[in-house]
Amino acid sequence: MAEDGSTYGFDTIYLVWKDKEGKINHKKLTDSRSTKDYIHIEEVKEEKDKIIVRVRSGGSYSGHPWKKTIEIKKEEIGIK
C-alpha cells in the first residue's frame, strides 16, 4: 500500500523472485491507483511455462467489485 498522508492511498501488487545468482527481482503486476480499492491476492500458481496471479477487490472505495487474472510467461522475466 502506498499513501502520502493527505489523500487516499492505493495498493500495488508485485511479483518478486530470486534468480540463480541470488539477485532479487520484481515486476509490477497491477495497482489500484485509479480506483483506490484494496487489492486481495486470491492465488499465485506456477504452471509449466507461466506464473498465474489472481487478484480481486470488493470495490472498497469505488463501489465496483472486480477480479483480474494476470499471466506472466516465465521467459519474459528470465525464469526457466
Grid cell in block for residue 47: 504452471
Answer whether residue 45 is part of any domain. Answer: yes
Answer whether residue 24 is part of any domain. Answer: yes
- Average pLDDT of the residues in 36-60: 94
- Average pLDDT of the residues in 43-47: 96
pLDDT of residue 60: 87
pTM of the predicted model as reported, rounded to 2 decimal places? 0.85
For 42, the domain range is: 12-77
pLDDT of residue 6: 64
Answer whether residue 1 is part of any domain. Answer: no
pLDDT tens digits, 12-43:
999 999 988 999 999 999 999 888 899 999 99
Domain count, the chain: 1
pLDDT of residue 3: 63
> Do 45 and 55 meet the contact criterion of CB atoms below 8 Å apart?
no
> Do 51 and 72 meet the contact criterion of CB atoms below 8 Å apart?
yes
Answer whether residue 3 is part of any domain. Answer: no
Answer whether residue 5 is part of any domain. Answer: no
